[in-house]
Amino acid sequence: MERYNIKNIEEKWQDIWSSKKIDSAFLNKKKKKFYCLEMFPYPSGKIHMGHVRNYTIGDVLARYKRLRGYNVLHPMGWDSFGLPAENAARENNLHPKEWTKKNIETMKKQLKLLGLSLDWDREISTCDPEYYKHQQEFFLELFKKKLVYKKDTYVNWDPAEQTVLANEQVIDGKGWRSGVTVERKKLSQWFFNIKKFSQNLLDELEKLKNWPEKVKLMQKNWIGKSYGCEINFKISNGKKSDKITVFTTRPDTIFGASFIALSVDHPIAKNFEKNQDFLSFKLECSKMGTTEEALANAEKIGFDTNLFAKHPFNSKIKLPVYIANFVLMDYGTGAIFGCPAHDQRDLDFAIKYKLKILPVVKPNNVNTAEFVIKKEAFTGDGILFNSEFLNSLTVNQAMEKIIKVVT
């Protein structure tokens, strides 16, 4: 039996497929349409097994749909803008354009050898002006409709690569490529105004079937809609007009509050810009990332302002005001009330600074006298106690009542 000659036979049939445009998509209104798109690869040099795995999965799906009678569009392109291309060009002492085009040629040949059913007639590269001019037009339309805006915010800054990193690119507090500890840095950034669509996005997310819950949770966190209310705290040893507005998603725990924590960028923090201890504290805060993981894992530290805030429902209670490294100006009002018994972050902070820990929510069927918080906060559902007019209510009932009172 003659041995299968891979090079000759596959080259022959791939030439036939190419000449007859077997994998090209054409307009056909009689057929159902199916669009199959895998993530575009970075043109980093050569393909690896990750590429083979990813594009084989897409190829199987595209071929299956084609066999089922669909008019399949299965294009290919190159994610050729940004940091990976820039870094690779620097390492190889080449202009990014030369480096990128050279790699595209190499990787395209390799992908073609795999015999993937890709429509190469529709090949695009994101660094091609013919491609990104449409993105620029799209951005301008968003800008005109006020769906994008610019503001100063803290970002994950990689000091080695001198660039901003997405939260997903920060692993254990370090840059995914450089391995260097990520810092917080304030820069002017563009944002999508998704607040206008947040509820629609959340509603549609619930309709997705067979999606991993982890992925759906990531999307919910990205959408970032929070339910709660604002509560005002008057400063007892400052100007009469001074107040701190706090946004909270747990207003039911208001009677368990033992401190107020502000962001380093809160307006009140500006009063301490000439204080050397505060400036040192602010510098220390800049060394941690902006991801939830970074905030959760970082040691909770605070700067004591020596200010006190009156409890909104009991003026005899005075809450110390701290500036803390775990409060972000971008979330809510840049101020929180700390309820150590029912938030682990607040509990860690309270233990460190020896602040009061008063539980106000207990699990059902647990004796009040026996319910004690030590090193783990209770964040579950339950019944209110130690909470004056909220006593004996469920968490949801207490939240509704407080929201009515403060609004």
Given a contact cutoff of 8 angstroms between Cβ atoms, the answer to whether 300 and 293 are in contact is no
Nearest to 323 by CA among 368, 265, 274, 381: 265
For residue 256, how many other CB atoms are within 10 A of its CB? 25
Classified as helix, coil or strand, 226 is coil
Residue range 358-379: average pLDDT? 93
**What is the CB-side half-sphere exposure of residue 214 using CA atoms within 13 A?**
0
Give the closest residue to 350 by CA, choosing from 277, 260, 289, 285.
260
Global pTM?
0.68
CA-based nearest residue to 164, from 175, 173, 150: 175
Distance CA 81, CA 97 (A): 10
Q: Is residue 303 helix, strand or coil? A: strand
**What are the angstrom distances between the C-alpha of 225 and each of 153, 195, 229, 322?**
18, 8, 13, 26
**Interval 251-261: pLDDT, tens:** 999 999 999 99
- Nearest to 285, CA basis, from 269, 307, 274, 268: 269
Instruction: Tell me which H or E stretch contains 214.
Output: helix 213-223
- Interhelix angle for 198-206 vs 213-223, to 10°? 170
Question: Contact, 346 vs 338, CB < 8 A?
Answer: yes
The string of pLDDT tens digits covering residues 100-159 is 899 999 999 999 999 999 999 999 999 999 999 999 999 999 999 999 999 888 888 999
Domains recognised in the chain with CATH numbers: 6-132 (3.40.50.620), 143-223 (2.170.220.10), 229-406 (3.90.740.10)
The answer to whether residue 283 scores a pLDDT higher than 90 is: no
For residues 55-75, give the mean pLDDT: 97
| 142 sits in which H/E element | helix 129-144
pLDDT of amino acid 292:
63
Q: Count CB-CB contacts under 10 A for residue 13.
A: 12
pLDDT at 52: 95
Categorize the per-residue pLDDT at 370 as very low, low, confident or very high, splitting at 50, 70 and 90. Answer: confident
d(CA 17, CA 157) in angstroms, rounded, equals: 48
Nearest residue to 398 (alpha-carbon basis) of 255, 246, 261, 227: 255
Give me the residue label for tokens 């077997």.
22
- Following CA atoms 134, 88, 169, 222 in sequence, which dihedral angle do they give, to the nearest 10 degrees? 0
- pLDDT tens per residue, range 261-276: 999 999 999 999 999 9
CA atoms within 13 A on the CB side of 69: 4
